Chain A
Amino acid sequence: MKLFHFIKIYSYFKTRDYIPPLFVLFFLFLCTHCADLPLPKKPNVPPNNLIVAITTDFVTGFVSAMAPDGSRLYQDILPVHSDAVLREHEGELYVINRLGADNLTRIKPTAGYLREYELSLGRRSNPHDIAFVSSDLAAISLYDATDLLFVNYRQGKIVGRLSLAAYSDADGLPEMSSLYYHSNGFLYVVLQRLNRHGAGIWPPSGDSLLLKINPFSRSVVDSFTIPLSNPISRLRYHDFRDSLIMAAPAFFGVNYQLDGGVVEFNLTTEAFSVLISETELGEEVTDCLLVSSSLGFLLTQNNSFITRIKAFDPVTKNILATLASSQNMSGFFADMLLHSPKLYVADRNYHRPGVRIFDINTLEEETGTPHYLGLPPFNLDMLP
């Protein structure tokens, strides 16, 4: 008990001694910790000569940007929906906020990336792409609806609709996706036509279609059956061949099958050809971009979900080089952008996400490391 008496006496005196320092510590804690969570800051960004990107983790989305040489990076310029794509037109940015936000947003870089308007395109309509037709008219494809929308993109108003319900598959939706407006006056619309009533991931349901539409009379001029189904990539126009290129992997991902390929649609002859098939590649293909008659780039994915960037010769169908590979299950290459002489690739590797720059002449990566834009990039475009 003597020990406890000692503790009792000691603690009585010592407690009094410790009271002032305890108060000081408590005051310091209040000063350093009692502020609430800080708000992030918006960067100052130049209005032009940038590679712009939608970055997302599918919860949060942002518009970010970088200088074409990667020397300057501008992260988190403006928040957007977590599922969005971006298109540049005449120096302004148009963000298509997909399912859940379902709107078109115009951003003016010259006014400090001001959001000029936010046009609702219909609840659960899931807009997918925009094509600029004239000085004020644009078409927007709706993935979860049957109407092709026409908007006045200057004013931010819906001006018309064209029903494509007649081209739907059994689930009642045609799954219209990528758009391209050609200077011949016609709008080309990809209809994926997937089966939403199957288990899990939607597989293709029969044939996919390419529609030729007169946007001014708002009528379907012709429809073409795409030889390979499920064209998931952007429609990319290549003027030296006057053709539209699309990657159509058919069954892919979890439904892995080597039944797709890259399809080319010649706008002059209005005939399809398979540029390279998945059987020839030995992998599935998710995107394709042609640089010249002898050089193109592919994004591929194998049965272990490893994605690769490959350079190939469209004539000989030879793989010239594999520029980069993702690690197993660690992300994927989401988009490609050509700004000669460089190829920009959105790398969603979760360990080192960012935009990778390749020299299309040497087929070498310029810096060896991705240019970090905050969240992993999903979609790229050039702001001249």
Chain B
Amino acid sequence: MSVVNWFCLLSPVLIALGGSLCAENEIIVTSKKTQHGPDALAVKVNLESVENTTAANIAEVLARQSSVYVNRFGPPGTHSSLYLRGQNPENAGVYLEGIPLNDIYGGGFNLENLPVFLFQELELYPTASPLHLPGSFAAGAIHLRLREPSPQKKIWLNSALHTLGGGLMGAGVQLNGQFHYAEIAGSENRYRYQDNAGTAFLNKQDDTWQTRQNEDFFQGGYTGYYQKTIHSHKISILGDVFAKERGLPGPIGVSSEHARLHNQRGLLNIIHLTPLGDNMVLQNQLFSLVQNQSLFDPQYELATGLKENQRLTFSGGAASSWQYFSNFIFWRNDLSFRLNQIWQNKESFANRIETDLGSAMDIRPWKDYFRLLLSAKAHVLQDIPQIERNNLINFEKIFGIQENLSAHLGFFPFSLWDNPNTKFEIFAAVYRSGRFPTLAENYGDGATLLPAGNLKREQSLTNSAGLQGEFTCGFLSCALVANYFLTASENMIIFIANSQQTMVAVNAGLVQLEGIESDLRIAYRRYVSFNLRYQYLEAREWGQLPYYYGKYLPYRPRHKAYAFSEGGNRFLRLFAGLDYMGRNFRDRYNSYYFFLQERIRFFGGLIWFLEGNNRQQLSYTMRNITNEVQTDVLGYPLPGRVHEIRYQRIWEGL
């Protein structure tokens, strides 16, 4: 790393030290896992911090976390996929206020469709999806929490412009327990990339710089949140609609200029919460989610043979939760039911019926010295295919039960010293979780992917241990998390070419994942803060395929580090960060051609507070300062340096 880069990273610290004389408040550094309740094991990411408000979207926030690797298929707004603790994207559940957004057809969730501003907090469950979130995922879950409406009247105005030829405009209002936010965003996403004309190994003479085509997107959405308390009944209603249109440029070698993808989402969630005495709460939930995806390929560039391919998914369900809490125990029992129906090109494709039944306890037997969290959940699934594509393949009903079990034992040694400024936990945990195959894996795609039949569930067993804590010493506060985990995942689904034309999903993978995650945060009052995250990951395949046996899983760098520093005073704050990724195979066979060399990406910028209390602020961010052009996924270029200006205005107490 050059001197200039070090200077970029440390400049906020220098500025902050200079401006410390006129600073006011302290930065609050909180521990990530000291809650008491169903989300007690979540890593909580504050989306209102300076670090995360400068991110382009949720994908970028997640990419900065130590247990997550995000793979980008293009600039913000296009597509990215999520690897939680080295597991496949299909194994990570994505939830919005308790509603699973994953496409049950398959393919994981595109994190690019979620704006940062809408949310207050992100809960990250890096090993298993918890009891209170329906469904079952082998790698864990991400739970997005909306801004809580407060009685105070507020109006927000958000806008941003960046040099990829796009920006966003958003407006929100909060009044009397309601929160409404609407945002439109779009980008031409035109940037220069190096095109090797397919001659990747030797011929450099035909390499040219091109401008990326058909990578533009436009999206808009509205989210409304309403809370009302009638006597002892609290009712929350969430409505969310979202629409997006984007180009599908494809990899450089087989790029398409006309293929487009349209996504629409509509969500309604009603939660009723009522106390049953002093120590019990009953929560009921009704929800429905409609997602539509239409792919248009007017020039047949994607070679699917279809000009238009549409898929409509409806999910509707109900959930009920009974909770008991005291100083000694928190006990929760959940029951949920969900019906999913998929139509493909207006023909019914399959039904999936899911039921979750579980119980979790957070027991603190000796005041604050120990805690024991136990959770058990049964996820029952029934798939009913409604297709008969041809006479070759039997589409069978699939029924199964996935058990999710976890136990977490924590010890708080500093409680022995009765130090109120110190929270420190040493813990050991074990998790068992899994996921059912997606409908595409089970029943194929009607073209080249054949129905598999008799696919087993992907299952994971994780052992984990570590420590986490926070300390305050004078004006200095510090938070530390260090985890070790060892995961064995069996029956991992791999797609195999089984004939000249077709592919099929098979349970051929057996994966061992071993890693260390660490997160250190230090803050000196409000003047300066420094975050450092590091992840070590050893992800290897030990399954049935001899040619993958012993190989490293792709898109899992052994080393990943992230540093962020921020500082300043109440008028001006500077921030800078770096994102380091070690060597990374981009294919399962570990070819040296697909090797991604280690890389560092820098970003930095400033926030200028035009009025106090963050009422009016103007920010500037420069991403990828050193113009690093190595790409995450082979064939999908990423933009170089990008400049962005944001303006935010808040009117309060109207």
Contact = CB atoms under 8 A, between A and B. Distances in A.
Contacts of A201: 305, 447-448, 501-502
A106 to B, nearest CB: 10
Contacts of A81: 198
A254 interface: yes
Nearest to B494: A350
A119 B502 contact: no
A305 B305 contact: no
A286 interface: yes
A254 B501 contact: yes
Interface in A297-318: 301, 303-305, 307
A224 interface: no
Q: Which of A301, A332, A352, A353 has the largest number of chain B CB atoms within 10 A?
A: A332
Contacts of A34: 559
A8 B369 CA distance: 12
Contact of A330 (B251, B498, B500, B583): B498
Contact of B392 (A115, A197, A254, A307): A254
Contacts of A105: 201-202
B506 A33 contact: no
Contact of A199 (B392, B447, B589, B635): B447
B454 to A, nearest CB: 10
A331 B498 contact: yes
Nearest to A353: B547
A79 B591 contact: yes
B654 interface: no
B598 interface: yes
Contacts of B197: 102-103, 120, 123
Interface string A90-103: 00000001011111
A58 B506 CA distance: 16
Nearest to A232: B500
A36 B558 contact: yes
A342 interface: no
Contact of B497 (A76, A97, A348, A351): A348
A112 to B, nearest CB: 14
Interface string B514-547: 0000000000000000000000101000001111
B443 interface: no
Contact of A253 (B417, B500, B558): B500
A171 interface: yes
Contact of A102 (B202, B253, B496, B588): B253
Contact of B585 (A37, A102, A329, A351): A37
Contacts of A101: 198-200, 253
A119 B584 CA distance: 29
A118 B199 contact: yes
Given A37-B584, A329-B450, A103 B198 contact: yes
Interface in B431-466: 446-448, 450, 452
Nearest to A124: B254
Interface string B577-603: 000001111011111111100100000
A196 interface: yes
A318 to B, nearest CB: 26
A253 B552 CA distance: 33
A62 interface: yes
B604 to A, nearest CB: 26
Interface string B192-225: 0000011111110010000000000000000000
B589 A57 contact: yes
A305 B451 CA distance: 12
A36 B582 CA distance: 7
Point out which of A76, A79, A252, A353 has the most chain B C-beta atoms below 10 A from its C-beta.
A79
A20 interface: no
A253 B201 contact: no
A102 B206 CA distance: 13
Nearest to B634: A59
B552 A7 contact: no
A109 to B, nearest CB: 16
Contact of A304 (B392, B502, B591): B392
Given A4-B416, A57-B588, A59-B587, A117 B202 contact: yes
B390 A256 contact: yes
A39 interface: yes
B300 interface: yes
Contacts of B203: 103, 117-120
A376 to B, nearest CB: 7
A118 B202 contact: yes
Given A36-B558, A307-B499, A375 B536 contact: no
Interface in A47-64: 57-60, 62
A58 B497 contact: yes
Nearest to A144: B303
A27 interface: no
A76 B587 CA distance: 14
Contact of A40 (B303, B307, B504, B591): B591
B304 interface: yes
A307 B306 CA distance: 29
Nearest to A41: B592
A4 B369 contact: yes
A4 B591 CA distance: 56
B188 to A, nearest CB: 22
Given A4-B369, A101-B198, A120-B206, A374 B589 contact: yes
Contacts of B582: 36-37
A305 B448 CA distance: 13
A98 B546 CA distance: 26
B202 A372 contact: no
Given A4-B416, A232-B500, A36 B583 contact: yes
Contacts of B200: 101
Contact of B499 (A102, A117, A305): A305
Nearest to A76: B591
A253 B450 CA distance: 10
Interface string A222-257: 000000000010000000000000000000111110
B502 A253 contact: yes
A282 interface: no
Nearest to B593: A79
B258 to A, nearest CB: 13
B508 interface: yes
A198 interface: yes
A154 to B, nearest CB: 16
B496 A256 contact: no
Interface in B584-634: 584-585, 587-595, 598
A216 interface: no
Contact of A60 (B300, B303, B446, B588): B588
B588 A59 contact: yes
Contacts of A330: 496, 498, 506
Given A103-B199, A374-B589, A303 B392 contact: yes
Interface of B: 197-203, 206, 251, 253-254, 300, 303-307, 369, 389-392, 413, 416-417, 446-448, 450, 452, 496-502, 504, 506, 508, 536, 538, 544-547, 552, 557-559, 582-585, 587-595, 598, 635
11 contacts: A4-B369, A4-B416, A33-B538, A58-B497, A79-B593, A99-B254, A105-B201, A124-B254, A329-B506, A330-B506, A332-B499
Interface of A: 4, 7-8, 11, 33-34, 36-37, 39-40, 57-60, 62, 76, 79, 81, 97, 99-103, 105, 115, 117-120, 123-124, 171, 195-202, 232, 252-256, 286, 301, 303-305, 307, 329-332, 334, 348, 350-353, 372, 374-376
Nearest 3 Cβ contacts at the A-B interface: A200-B447, A100-B253, A79-B593
Given A103-B203, A329-B498, 6 more contacts: A11-B413, A100-B254, A198-B305, A200-B447, A332-B498, A334-B500
